[in-house]
């Protein structure tokens, strides 16, 4: 093994989900960076790894830890980064350490494994072909409003992390901006004893959440439906306006196609029926 920073995913509830390769990397590491040394110590004991050197790295200490991590890797050592649960760097510390190691010209690699967002997405029953990860929404303020409004028109499935105390308010706010019928899934306590997937409309889930569910939660929300195609009448009206403004027939069709998101061919065909509009080619 050559010197590298190794991002190692760890279980999000069920210890049986520790990737087998994680144990190899724990055993080989000169240093294991973690959020909580006691918690990671218990995981190492479960994995049968003794004598590992642990260093606490969180949002405040990540930059300082980077110097030691880079030195160790430059000397050919493996340094492991784990978070409390799941994949480091996903709503968890990690990005700064990755930047520092890459900036110093060293290798960064990964032992992939549990990520709550992906586990919730694939079990949600909502489309998985295209999705976006929103992480935690801001609790209040303009940025929260801006992000909620963006979700309302986002065509891809959206995945959020949310606390049990705020899930009812977030579902209510989403029902307001996206409409109460938009489908969603609350994934609670994934891989744990009380794992639960609650599937329904945003309005139904907001009512369900009013009792303040317990445990860890991922919220998956269906993407916005595609905007309705403009009717023939709407296209003709827009074409008339363009033609009346002096546009040539082709320019009018191009402009209307772009403005209404309809096909240029369709716009041109419709222009043929407008008296005084386009003269069909003889
Ligand atoms: N790095 C982690 C990952 O890869 O998923 C996420 C860490 S973030 C600080 C913690 C949030 O992840 C929780 O508040 C919850 O939204 C979600 N989460 C983590 N474990 C979960 C689980 N077992 N069930 C549901 N959500 C979970």
Residue 32 confidence (pLDDT) above 70: yes
Contact partners, residue 192, CB within 8 Å, separation at least 6 = 13, 14, 215
Residue 42's pLDDT is what? 97
253 lines ligand 1 (CB under 6 A): no
In this prediction, residues 197-214 reach a mean pLDDT of 96
Q: What does CATH list as the number for 117-221?
A: 3.30.950.10
In this prediction, residues 5-14 reach a mean pLDDT of 98
92 lines ligand 1 (CB under 6 A): yes
DSSP string, 243-264: HHTT--HHHHHHHHHHHHT--H
Contact predicate 232/263, CB 8 Å: no
State the alpha helices, DSSP H only, in the chain.
20-28, 37-47, 62-74, 95-103, 116-124, 142-153, 167-178, 202-209, 232-244, 249-260, 264-271
Residue 63 confidence (pLDDT) above 90: no
Q: What does the alpha-carbon distance between residue 177 and residue 158 come to, in Å, rounded to a whole number? A: 14
Q: Where are the domains of the chain?
A: 4-114, 117-221, 232-271
Contact partners, residue 8, CB within 8 Å, separation at least 6 = 19, 22, 25, 26, 80, 81, 82, 88, 110, 111, 113
Q: What does the alpha-carbon distance between residue 106 and residue 98 come to, in Å, rounded to a whole number? A: 10
Number of the ligand 1 atom closest to the C-alpha atom of 160: 16
In the numeric block, which tokens belong to residue 182?
A: 């938009």
90 lines ligand 1 (CB under 6 A): yes
Residue 65 confidence (pLDDT) above 70: yes
> pLDDT band at residue 276, thresholds of 50, 70 and 90?
low
Residue 229's pLDDT is what? 87
Rounded alpha-carbon distances, angstroms, from residue 222 to 159, 161, 173, 208, 262 = 9, 15, 15, 18, 25
Number of the ligand 1 atom closest to the C-alpha atom of 163: 14
In this prediction, residues 122-130 reach a mean pLDDT of 98
Tracing tokens 């008339």 back to the chain, one arrives at 240
Residue 275 confidence (pLDDT) above 80: no
Residue 281's pLDDT is what? 53
Residue 54 confidence (pLDDT) above 90: yes
> pLDDT band at residue 277, thresholds of 50, 70 and 90?
low
Q: What does the alpha-carbon distance between residue 206 and residue 60 come to, in Å, rounded to a whole number? A: 35
Q: Would you identify the CATH topology of the domain 4-114? A: Cobalt-precorrin-4 Transmethylase; domain 1 (3.40.1010)
191 lines ligand 1 (CB under 6 A): yes
Residue 1's pLDDT is what? 78
Chain centroid, CA 101 distance in Å = 25
For residue range 128-186, what is the model confidence (pLDDT) as tens digits? Answer: 999 999 999 999 999 999 999 999 999 999 999 999 999 999 999 999 999 999 999 99
Best substitution site from 161, 187, 198 to test ligand 1's pocket, by max atoms within 8 Å of Cβ? Answer: 161
In this prediction, residues 20-32 reach a mean pLDDT of 97
Mean model confidence pLDDT for the chain? 95
């Amino acid at each position: 093994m050559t010197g590298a920073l190794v991002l190692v995913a760890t279980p999000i509830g069920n210890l049986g989900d520790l990737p087998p390769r994680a144990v190899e990397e724990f055993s080989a590491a000169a240093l294991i960076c973690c959020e909580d040394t006691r918690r990671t110590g218990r995981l190492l004991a479960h994995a049968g790894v003794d004598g590992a050197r642990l260093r606490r790295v969180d949002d405040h200490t990540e930059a300082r830890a980077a110097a030691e991590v880079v030195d160790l890797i430059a000397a050919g050592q493996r340094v492991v980064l784990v978070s409390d649960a799941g994949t480091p760097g996903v709503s968890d510390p990690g990005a700064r350490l990755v930047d520092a190691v890459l900036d110093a010209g060293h290798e960064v690699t990964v032992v992939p494994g549990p990520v709550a967002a992906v586990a919730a997405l694939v079990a949600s029953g909502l489309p998985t072909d295209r999705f976006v990860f929103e992480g935690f929404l801001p609790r209040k303020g303009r940025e929260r409003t801006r992000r909620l409004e963006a979700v309302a028109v986002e065509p891809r499935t959206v995945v959020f992390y949310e606390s049990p105390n705020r899930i009812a308010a977030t579902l209510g706010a989403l029902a307001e901006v996206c409409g109460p019928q938009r489908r969603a899934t609350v994934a609670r306590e994934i891989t744990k004893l009380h794992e639960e997937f609650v599937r329904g409309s945003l309005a139904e889930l907001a009512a369900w959440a009013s009792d303040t569910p317990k445990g860890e939660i991922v919220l998956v929300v269906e993407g916005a439906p595609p905007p309705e195609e403009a009717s023939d009448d709407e296209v003709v009206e827009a074409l008339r306006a363009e033609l009346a403004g002096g546009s040539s027939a082709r320019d009018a069709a191009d402009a209307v196609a772009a403005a209404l998101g309809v096909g240029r061919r369709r716009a041109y065909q419709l222009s043929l029926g407008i008296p005084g509009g386009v003269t069909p080619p003889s």
